[in-house]
Amino acid sequence: MTITKVALLVRLEAKPGEESTVASFLEKENALALANEEEATPVWFASRLGPSIFGIFDAFADDAGRQAHRPAQSRRR
């Protein structure tokens, strides 16, 4: 069992008309699989908070894991 000590909570707001694109990416297009590719990301959740508001919660064992996650995510944009 990995003890998580560091986390990120990211709030995303989809542009008007792009809500379904964001929802599809988070729900169907393997966003979880991308997070699971990272050893240092043992916890990953996405949620829809409103019609155009989404959230992603990532947890890490330590700050090194969080730092390793951030560049990987920016390369995927």
Q: What is the pLDDT of residues 46-65, one digit of tens each?
A: 999 999 999 999 998 888 88
Query: Which is more confident, 56 or 29?
Result: 56
Q: Are 14 and 22 in contact (CB under 8 A)?
A: yes
What is the number of structural domains in the chain?
1
The Cα–Cα gap between 50 and 32 comes to: 20
The answer to whether residue 1 sits within a structural domain is no
Average pLDDT, the chain: 85
Residue-number span of the structural domain to which 16 is assigned: 6-75
Q: What pTM does this model have?
A: 0.78
**β-bridge partners, 30:** none
Residues 26-38, mean pLDDT to the nearest whole number: 83
Burial class (CB in 10 A: 0-12, 13-18, 19+), 65: buried
The answer to whether residue 18 sits within a structural domain is yes
